[in-house]
Amino acid sequence: MTDTLPAPATSTHEVEVEGSTRGERIAAGVQRHGALAVLGLIVVIASFAFEFFATLDNARGVAVQSSFLAIVALGMTFVIISGGIDLSVGSVFALGGVLAAYASQWGFLPALALPLVVCGGIGVLNGVLVAKTRMAPFIVTLASLLGVRGLLLAITDEGSTTYLVPKGSAFTELGQGTVYGFGYPVLIALALFAVGAVVLQRTSFGQSVFAIGGSEDAASLMGLPVARIKVLAYTMSGLLAGLAGALSAARLSSGVTILGVGMELDAIAAVVIGGTLLVGGAGSISGTLCGVLLLGVIQNVINQIGTLDSSYQSVVSGGFLIVVVVVQTYLSRTQRLR
């Protein structure tokens, strides 16, 4: 854009503008593709270092393990770009799984419909509370984190009842069936990411999400239906978390109540590592996918090292998160300081 502007009056100014555009372009590039570059680097190094790493079986394993978090993080991306946050997704994920397992006794459709309706409803509730009362999203979704886990305990007799998915049902197939060795959850996650990217980049809804995250007041002055778009974003987050839970129940053949604790933080970490700014207004779906895969590959590599136990995974993830956000902050600061 800057190139097309008329030349400034003084030459010193012009030099400044030129220099900063290049810096800005590099900064934007690093911000957008940083996670992808690091992911590529780790994959290449790990392929040489570990015999088993660069095999199709291992790729399938990483893909399936990552697919549930990926679906949750997809919804989280929309919420975060809109300037909000959704802490309830871990609880909603677990609830979705238990409801799906419970409803699977009635067949395939109920097993999907029940969790989607309930979890979507929780998303609507989050969205309405955030949009209409102007309470901090952090607190609203913190309350639903607690409340939904309470609900989850209530329908499982304080966690003592485990609902099983009937053996051999079509719903089990959804979690365990494969195409070319890749499980349905992986394919569903990929399809959802493709749709999500189109929705974010190519629809007026997606552009409105960016606008609201960038400046809610400005978006409102431009006449965007701010409340409705926020409600939609939180609803998507609830729906996707519920769907991910249902898929995991199909995969595990049962609704596990203790799943999903801390998942909201993994999802936020993946989104942030993927280059989406937590203040809202900027981010990408592809970045989130890279972020999720990066977390998955780190875990996989640590498992392959063998001598390191799994607690190192969170140390590395945490350290990585710090590095990414510090770099991001400095990059966005150079952009602002031009």
Residues that bind another protein (CB under 8 A): 85, 129, 133-136, 138-140, 142-147, 149-154, 158, 261, 265-266, 268-269, 272, 278-279, 309, 311-319, 321-322, 325-326, 329-330, 333
Identity of the residue, 22 or 336, whose beta carbon is nearer to another protein in the bound complex: 336
Q: How far, in Å, CA of 106 to CA of 166, rounded?
A: 10
Minimum distance of another protein from residue 38's CB (angstroms): 16
Question: What are the CA-CA distances from residue 142 to residues 76, 88, 153, 173 (Å)?
Answer: 14, 6, 17, 34
- Cα–Cα distance measured from residue 207 to residue 217, given in angstroms and rounded to the nearest whole number: 15
Contact 129, 67 (CB under 8 A): no
The size of the chain, in residues, is 338
CA–CA separation, 245 and 143 (whole Å):
20
Bridge partners of 178, per DSSP, are 183
Distance (Å, rounded) from C-alpha 168 to C-alpha 107? 11
Q: Which residue has the tokens 């639903």?
A: 144
Q: Which is nearer to another protein, 59 or 265 (CB)?
A: 265
Judged by beta carbon, residue 304 or residue 314, the one nearer another protein is 314
Give 114 or 129: the residue with its C-beta nearer to another protein: 129
| CA-closest candidate to residue 93, choices 196, 270, 271, 246 | 246
Q: How far apart are CA 156 and CA 202, in angstroms?
A: 42
Quote the tokens at residue 184.
């349905």
Tokens of 265: 């933080």
Question: CB of residue 41 vs another protein: minimum separation in angstroms?
Answer: 21
Least Å from the CB of residue 185 to another protein: 24
The least distance separating another protein from the CB of residue 252, rounded to whole angstroms, comes to 22
As measured in angstroms, the least distance from the Cβ of 275 to another protein is: 13
Distance of closest approach, residue 258 Cβ to another protein, in angstroms: 12
Buried residues in 285-301 as b, exposed as e (16+ CB within 10 A): bbbbbbbbbbbbbbbbb
The residues, any chain, with a CB within 8 Å of residue 52's CB and separated by 6 or more, are 58, 304
HSE (side-chain half, CA atoms, 13 Å) at 129: 19
Q: In this complex, which beta carbon is closest to another protein, that of residue 212 or of residue 321?
A: 321
Give 67 or 328: the residue with its C-beta nearer to another protein: 328
Give 276-289 as a DSSP string.
Answer: --TTSS---HHHHH
* Distance in Å, CB of 270 to another protein, minimum: 11
Nearer to another protein, 45 or 323 (CB): 323
Residues 304 and 189: their CA atoms lie apart, in Å, by 25
Specify the residue, 130 or 174, whose C-beta has the smaller distance to another protein: 130
**Closest CB to another protein among 139 and 195?**
139
> Least distance in Å: CB of 120 to another protein?
19
Task: Provide the minimum distance between the beta carbon of 308 and another protein in the complex, in angstroms, as a whole number.
Answer: 9
